[in-house]
């Protein structure tokens, strides 16, 4: 039971630090000191150190021994690289669910079921409303819900794990995008993707997926 408790504390520390980096509470370049963070979060230093090590591996924190531990800057190349990987994983998913009958939630004869298409449409309605209201947290949640549908239907654990691994690296860029005038284009691209998936048009769905992930790093000034 003690080891489970330590694991939960590590996860809690990781989640809170990751969220603070993504939402800008801990700004790029901010120094991270285990003692200060432990006091601030009401945790011991051990789970904080574990969380910092994990975030370093994920590219959100950088360290130089005997010098600094700090939040990484938002670097265009890093966002482009992560977005390319995410786009590739989602491309596999949308191609599979648009063209094949083997995915979870497939309709008769292949493609996503009507219920899953409706779930994506509802998520995009929420996304559009959040963008219009300037509610970036709600926009991110709706965007995640929309893209999760084909990914879950694809049912490839490696693709899902890769998406979970690299999403934090693009999240700060997404926050900028979803509060910019360019966010309206994301709503339209989502609509186009849903239409292509509903029509079981694999080529068009893959094309729109590429536009979505290319739109991310071409639409915001990161540096």
pLDDT, tens only, 135-193: 999 999 999 999 999 999 999 999 999 999 899 888 888 888 888 888 899 999 999 99
More confident residue, 206 or 100: 206
Residue 108 confidence class, pLDDT cut points 50, 70, 90: very low
User: Shortest CA distance to 89 belongs to which of 160, 175, 17, 18?
Assistant: 160
Lowest mean pLDDT among 18-22, 90-94, 147-151, 191-195: 18-22
The CATH number of the structural domain formed by 2-71 is 1.10.10.10
Structure tokens at 133: 């209201």
Helix H segments across the chain? 2-22, 34-41, 45-57, 76-99, 114-133, 136-154, 157-178, 183-198, 202-218
- The CATH T-level fold of domain 76-218 is 1.20.120
pLDDT on residue 185? 92
User: Shortest CA distance to 56 belongs to which of 11, 20, 18?
Assistant: 18
Give φ, ψ of 192 to 5 degrees: -65, -40
pLDDT on residue 158? 97
Q: What is d(CA 215, CA 222) in angstroms, rounded to the nearest whole number?
A: 13
Q: What is d(CA 115, CA 14) in angstroms, rounded to the nearest whole number?
A: 35
Among residues of the chain, what percentage have pLDDT more than 70? 89
Domain edges within the chain = 2-71, 76-218
Confidence check: pLDDT of 107 > 90: no
User: Shortest CA distance to 55 belongs to which of 175, 168, 161, 173?
Assistant: 168
pLDDT, tens only, 36-78: 998 988 888 899 999 999 999 888 999 988 889 999 988 888 8
Confidence check: pLDDT of 221 > 90: no
Can you tell me the mean pLDDT for 193-213?
95
Confidence check: pLDDT of 201 > 70: yes
pLDDT on residue 52? 94
Q: What is d(CA 43, CA 23) in angstroms, rounded to the nearest whole number?
A: 21
pLDDT on residue 116? 96
């Amino acid at each position: 039971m003690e080891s489970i408790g330590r694991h939960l504390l590590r996860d809690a520390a990781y989640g809170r630090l990751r969220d603070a980096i993504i939402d800008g509470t801990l700004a790029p370049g901010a120094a991270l000191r285990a003692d200060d963070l432990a006091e601030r979060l009401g945790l011991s230093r051990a789970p904080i150190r574990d969380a910092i090590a994990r975030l370093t591996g994920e590219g959100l924190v950088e360290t130089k021994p005997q010098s600094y531990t700090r939040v990484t800057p938002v670097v265009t190349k890093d966002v482009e690289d992560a977005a390319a990987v995410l786009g590739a994983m989602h491309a596999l998913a949308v191609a599979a669910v648009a063209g094949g009958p083997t995915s979870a939630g497939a309709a008769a004869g292949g493609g996503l079921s009507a219920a899953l298409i409706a779930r994506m449409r509802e998520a995009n309605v929420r996304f559009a409303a959040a963008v219009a209201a300037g509610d970036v947290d709600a926009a991110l949640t709706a965007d995640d819900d929309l893209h999760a549908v084909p990914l879950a239907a694809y049912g490839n654990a490696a693709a899902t794990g890769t998406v979970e691994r690299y999403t934090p690296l693009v999240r700060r860029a997404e926050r900028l995008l979803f509060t910019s005038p360019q966010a309206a284009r994301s709503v339209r691209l989502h609509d186009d993707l849903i239409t292509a998936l509903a029509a079981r048009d694999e080529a068009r769905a893959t094309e729109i997926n590429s536009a979505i992930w290319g739109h991310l790093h071409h639409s915001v000034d990161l540096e």
